[in-house]
Amino acid sequence: MNRLLPLVLLAACDRSGTYLVPVQTDIPPVVELGELYVITPDEWDDQGTRESLVTYAEVGAPEPGARGGATFTFLGVDDEVCVVMDPEAVFWNESVAYQGGVESYTWSDNYLDDGDLDMSIGLSANYTGSPGIALCDFDGQYTDSLGHTAIIEYDLCEMVGYYSQTPAHAGRATVESCEIDTSGRAGIEYTVVLRTFSLPMDDSILGFGVAVYQGSCENIDECTIPREARNHGDEMDGFAGLEQAYCANEMSTYCADNPEMCGGE
Cα distances (Å, whole numbers) of residue 208 to 61, 211, 223: 14, 10, 13
> Rounded CA gap, 192 and 74, in Å?
8
On whether residue 133 sits in a domain, the answer given is no
Phi, psi values for residue 10, rounded to 5°: -65, -45
Q: Residue 45: its pLDDT value, please?
A: 92
- Quick one: which of 239, 208, 259 has its CA closest to 69? 208
On whether residue 219 sits in a domain, the answer given is yes
SS3 content of the chain, % helix, strand, coil (to 5): 20, 30, 50
On whether residue 221 sits in a domain, the answer given is yes
On whether residue 43 sits in a domain, the answer given is yes
If one counts the domains in the chain, the total is 1
For 97-128, what is each residue's pLDDT tens digit?
Answer: 665 555 667 788 888 889 999 999 999 999 98
On whether residue 131 sits in a domain, the answer given is no
On whether residue 187 sits in a domain, the answer given is yes
CB atoms within 10 A of CB 50: 17
> Rounded CA gap, 174 and 153, in Å?
25
> Rounded CA gap, 7 and 263, in Å?
29
Q: Residue 108: its pLDDT value, please?
A: 83
What confidence tier does 14 reach under pLDDT thresholds 50, 70, 90?
low
- Quick one: which of 182, 175, 142, 200 has its CA closest to 25? 200
What confidence tier does 8 reach under pLDDT thresholds 50, 70, 90?
very low
On whether residue 244 sits in a domain, the answer given is yes
On whether residue 240 sits in a domain, the answer given is yes
- Cβ atoms of 73 and 189 closer than 8 Å: yes
Structural domain containing residue 197: 24-124+157-261
Q: Residue 5: its pLDDT value, please?
A: 46
